[in-house]
Amino acid sequence: MVNKAVLMILFMFKIVQNVHHRFVKHWQALLWATYYTYAEFQNAI
């Protein structure tokens, strides 16, 4: 049971790594969009 859980975690981590490596620029754009939205929200207040 424990080994299976560890394998699942490693498998998910590998998927996340692959997705991040493939869409790193998209993640950067999302980060900028989030920061910009947060800045606008702060200005609105």
| Predicted pLDDT at 25 | 75
Q: Give tens-digit pLDDT for 4-39.
A: 989 999 999 999 888 877 777 787 888 899 999 998
Q: Which two tokens stand for residue 12?
A: 């998910």
Residue extents of the structural domains in the chain: 2-44
Reported as a pLDDT band with limits 50, 70 and 90, residue 45 is low
Q: What share of the chain is helix, strand, coil (3-state, %, to 5)?
A: 95, 0, 5
Q: Cβ contacts of residue 20 below 8 Å, gap of 6+? A: 27
Query: What gap in Å lies between CA 31 and CA 27, rounded to an integer?
Result: 6
